[in-house]
Structure 1
C-alpha cells in the first residue's frame, strides 16, 4: 500500500503528540490538586481582552486545530484513503457506528434529564491519543490498521464537528453567519482563480473566525470551512494546502493541544468525586466510550462487510477491528471540548464529565492496547515474534 510522505508525517507527529498530551494531563491534574491549586487555576482564568486565557485557547487556538483536521480530511478525500469509495466505505461505516451506538447508550441513561445534552460527548475520538497508543506497539502494527484508525478518527472528528454546529448552537445571528459564509465564498473564488498566496486566505480566515464567533455557531467551525477553500491542486509539495498542513503539524501537536490539555484537565478531585461516577451522566460517558465505541465500530463494520457493501483489508481480521474500536473509545480532547459546549455554566456537570472522560479514555486505551498486543503477537510466527 502506497503511503504519502504527509500521511507518514501526520502519523509520527500525532503519536508523539499523544505522549506529550499524557504528560500535560498528569502535570495539570497534579497541580490542580496540590497546594498550588489556586494559583494554577488563576492562570487559566486570567482575563485578556474581556476573555479568559482558557476561552482564547478553546475558541481561538483550537480553530487552528480544526483547520488542520479539515486539511487532513481534504487530503484523505482527494488522494488518500477516502478518495476511492471502496476504500472509504469501511472507515466511514465504522465511524458512523462508533458515533451512533455510544450516543444511544448515553441517552438510555440520560434521556429526559438535565444532562441529555451530553449525548455528543462519547461520540468523539481523540486522534492524537489513539495513534499515540497504537505507536507503542511498534512495527508489528500493519500499515492498513494505521490507515484505518486514522481515517476512522478523522471521519469521527468530522461527525463531532457537525454535532457541534447543529446541536450546540444556542442562538444564531444570521447577519454574522452570512458575512462569515460570504468571506468563505470570496475565498472559494480565489481558489478557483488559482490564487496561490497564503495572505488572502489567512486574512479571510481571521475574518471568518471573527464573524463565526459572533454568529452563535462555534468559532472553531471556521477552521474546517477554511480548509476546504484553501487550494489543494494536485496535493504536491508545491501547493498551499500541503505546505500549510506541513507547517501546522508541529505547532498543533506540541503547543495548541498541550495547552488545551493543561487548561481543560485542571480538574479538582473533591471528597465526593467517586460518588460523581455513579451519576447517570458519568455512567453514560463511561459505557459510551468503553463499550459503545468498540461495539459500534465492530458491529457496523461486520454487518456491512457481510452484506457486501464494503470489504475488510487483507492484512486485517475482526479481532483487530474490535481492538481498534476500543482505541476509538479514547475521547479526551474532543469529548472534553463537547463537554464545555454541552454544559455551559454548569461547573459541577463539567467536572464530573471530565473525570468520567479521563477514566473512560484511560480504560479504553489500556484495553485496546492489550487486545491489539495479544492479537498482533498471535498473528506472528514464533520465529518472527517481536517483543
Structure 2
C-alpha cells in the first residue's frame, strides 16, 4: 500500500510547492501589466524566437513558444498522471473511481450549461469550455493550508476529480477548439501514435525512442491544425508502465512512465507552469471598460466557475451515493466534500489555455483572463472559509497508516 501511494504523495507535494511559484508569477504579471513597465512586458512577450529542427523551422513570439511549445510538455506530464491513475491509482478501480468521475462530470456539465444560458446566441458562446477546468496546483495548495485537519481521502478525491476534469478538458480542446484540419498530416500523426503503441506492445522501454517519436508527433499535429499540445497527452499513453524489474512493485517503480514523470514534473511545476502564468495572467485593467463585469462572457465564467463547479460536484456526488453507485471516501463528511467542491472552481491554467483558443481578439482575451482570475479567487476564498469552519471542530491524523485500515 505504501508503494502504491508514494507516487501520489510525491505528486501532491510538488503541486503544493509549485503553486507558490505559480501564484508569484501570476501576481508579477498582473503588476507589470498595470505599471509603467507594461510596454516592456508587452515587448518581452512578443519578442521573436526561432526554433529549427533540421529543415523545419518555427518562428514564434515568446508567448506563442510558451503556449504552443512548452505547454506540450505540461500536457505530456498531465497525460502521464492520468495514465498512472488509470493503471495503479484511484481510476484503476471503477468502484473507487466512480465518485470522483461522476463528481467531475457534474463539475463540467453544470458550469458549461450556466455559461451557455448566459451567452446563448451571443458572440461569446464559443467560450463555454473555459469554466469547465479545475487547476490541480492551486486547488491542492489551498487544501494544504489545513494540513492534518484534512483527511487524506479528501485530498485523493480532489486530485482524482481534477485529473478526470483534465481528461475532459483535453477532449474539448481536441474536438471543439480545432478549426482547420489538414487530413494528410492528421493521418501521419495517427500513424505515429499507432507506431508508439506498437513499440510499447513489443516491449520497447527506451525513453529516447518515445521522446524522438513524440517530437515528430507534435510537429504532425501542429501541421494538421489540431492543437499540438494533444501530442503530449497521446504520447503519455504510449509510454510503458512496466520496466525490467523481476517483481511487480519493482516494475512500477522502474517503469519508463514513472521515470519520465519524476524527471519532468519538477520542470513543469517550477518552470513551465509559472512561465505560462507570467505570459498569460498579465491583464491590463485599462483595457477593460467599466461595464466588463456585466458582460455575458464575464458572468458566464464567473457564475460557471464559482457556483457551477460547487453545485455540479456536490449534486452529482450526492446522486451517486444515493443511487449506491459509490460511497464517500474514508473519513470524509458531506460538509467537507461540499467545501472542497468550491475549490473545484479554481480554474486558471487550463481555463486560460482554452480561452486563448476560444477568443482571438486581445480585448476578449483580456476580459476572459480577468474573469478567470476573479472567479478563481472567489471560489478559493469560499472554499477556505468553509474548510476553516469545519477544521476548527476536528483534527485528522496525517499518516497513511492511521487513516486507511490495512
Q: Same fold (TM over 0.5)?
A: yes
Cα distance in 2, alignment partners of residues 21 and 349 from structure 1: 23
Helix, strand or coil at the partner of 1:134: helix
Counterpart residue number, 1:364: 379
Cα distance in 1, alignment partners of residues 207 and 235 from structure 2: 12
Cα distance in 2, alignment partners of residues 97 and 166 from structure 1: 20
Counterpart residue number, 2:306: 290
Helix, strand or coil at the partner of 2:254: coil
Counterpart residue number, 1:33: 34
Displacement after TM superposition at 1:187 (Å): 1.1
Residue deviations 1:59-106 (CA, integer Å, cap 9, x gap) = 111111111111111111111111111100000000000000000000
Residue deviations 1:153-201 (CA, integer Å, cap 9, x gap) = 0110110110111100101111111111111111111111111111110
1:254 and 2:255 are equivalent in the alignment: no
1:335 and 2:336 are equivalent in the alignment: no
- Quick one: which of 98, 103, 114 aligns to 2:107? 98
Displacement after TM superposition at 1:272 (Å): 4.4
Q: Conserved in 2, the CA contact under 8 Å of 1:106 and 1:285? A: yes
Counterpart residue number, 2:174: 165
Helix, strand or coil at the partner of 2:286: coil
Q: Conserved in 1, the CA contact under 8 Å of 2:149 and 2:394? A: no
Structural mapping, 1:123-272, within 5 Å: 123-233=132-242, 236-270=252-286, 272=288
Q: Which runs of 5+ in 2 are unaligned?
A: 51-58, 243-247, 397-406
Q: Conserved in 2, the CA contact under 8 Å of 1:67 and 1:223? A: yes
Counterpart residue number, 1:385: none
Counterpart residue number, 1:62: 71
Change (3 A) 1:380 1:255: closer
Residues matched between the structures, number: 380
Cα distance in 2, alignment partners of residues 232 and 273 from structure 1: 51
Displacement after TM superposition at 1:378 (Å): 2.1
Taking structure 2 as the reference length, what is the TM-score of the superposition? 0.91
Cα distance in 2, alignment partners of residues 149 and 160 from structure 1: 16
Displacement after TM superposition at 1:380 (Å): 4.2
Helix, strand or coil at the partner of 1:4: helix
Q: Which runs of 5+ in 1 are unaligned?
A: 382-387
Helix, strand or coil at the partner of 1:214: helix
Please list every run of at least 4 consecutive aligned residues from structure 1 whose deviation after the TM superposition is greater than 6 angstroms.
none
Cα distance in 2, alignment partners of residues 13 and 357 from structure 1: 23
Displacement after TM superposition at 1:376 (Å): 2.6
